[in-house]
């Protein structure tokens, strides 16, 4: 028998074009997806060593102690809740990835007792990724943002070798109604 090349099971990062559309397995483009991409609490503490959190009377939730969202009092009746959350994909379905990422960010506002108002996308994708695939991520996110009663109003998108997606979300809460 002639020598045959070894068989590998690794999928290419970007699959060949199909009908002139680049297709990809989103998770094959990442090192670690979802919250697995986050630093551990110990490593984050080490990275922030020497950083002195700002103290302000109207900053109701900030870095001391650290939380997933910040809360800033506007007046006696209203406070803003602000969060940003993004990560590499943990699923291959682009629409589902967008929905998961949006839900994760929106939940940071809900966890403070707040109501989301406005969201902006934070997105990084390989340039050769199919526009339809990226559009499906955005569509999934928009679906979840609308279901929460908020508006996906734009965002920022950059080129990167590893896909990442999430949202910056602003919401409101009564200053006495914060859940911490």
Q: Please state the rounded mean pLDDT for residues 53-74.
A: 88
Cβ proximity of 61 and 112 under 8 Å: yes
What digits encode the pLDDT tens for the residues 84-121? 999 999 999 999 999 999 999 999 999 999 999 999 99
123 vs 72, 85, 138, 163, CA distance in Å?
26, 11, 9, 8
Catalytic residue among 11, 35, 56, 153: 35
**For the chain, what percentages of helix, strand and coil (3-state, to nearest 5) are there?**
30, 30, 40
pLDDT the model gives residue 7: 36
pLDDT the model gives residue 148: 98
- Is 35 annotated in the active site? yes
Banded pLDDT at 32 (limits 50, 70, 90): low
The fraction of the chain above a pLDDT of 70, given in percent, is 82
Residue predicted with more confidence, 130 or 40: 130
The mean pLDDT of the chain is 84
pLDDT the model gives residue 33: 61
User: Domains, the chain, ranges and CATH?
Assistant: 26-177 (3.30.1330.10)
pLDDT the model gives residue 84: 97
Separation of alpha carbons 70 and 180, rounded Å? 11
Banded pLDDT at 48 (limits 50, 70, 90): confident
What digits encode the pLDDT tens for the residues 112-158? 999 999 999 999 999 999 999 999 999 999 999 999 999 999 999 99
110 vs 11, 83, 97, 173, CA distance in Å?
38, 11, 20, 9
Separation of alpha carbons 109 and 116, rounded Å? 6
Residue predicted with more confidence, 145 or 38: 145
**pTM value?**
0.79
pLDDT the model gives residue 29: 74
pLDDT the model gives residue 41: 77
């Amino acid at each position: 028998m002639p020598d045959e090349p070894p068989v590998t099971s690794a999928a290419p990062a970007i699959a060949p074009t199909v009908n002139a559309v680049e297709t990809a397995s989103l998770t094959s483009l990442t090192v670690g997806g979802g919250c697995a991409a986050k630093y551990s609490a110990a490593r984050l503490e080490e990275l922030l060593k020497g950083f002195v959190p700002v103290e302000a009377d109207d900053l109701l939730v900030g870095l001391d102690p650290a939380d997933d969202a910040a809360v800033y009092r506007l007046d006696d009746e209203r406070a803003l809740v602000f969060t940003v959350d993004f990560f590499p994909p943990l699923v291959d379905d682009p629409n589902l990835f967008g929905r998961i990422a949006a839900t994760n960010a929106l939940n940071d506002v809900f966890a403070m007792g707040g109501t989301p108002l406005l969201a902006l996308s934070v997105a990084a994708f390989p340039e050769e990724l199919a526009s339809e695939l990226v559009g499906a991520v955005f569509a999934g996110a928009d679906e979840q943002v609308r279901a929460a009663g908020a508006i996906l109003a734009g965002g920022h998108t950059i080129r990167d070798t590893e896909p990442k997606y999430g949202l910056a979300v602003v919401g409101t809460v009564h200053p006495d109604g914060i859940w911490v």
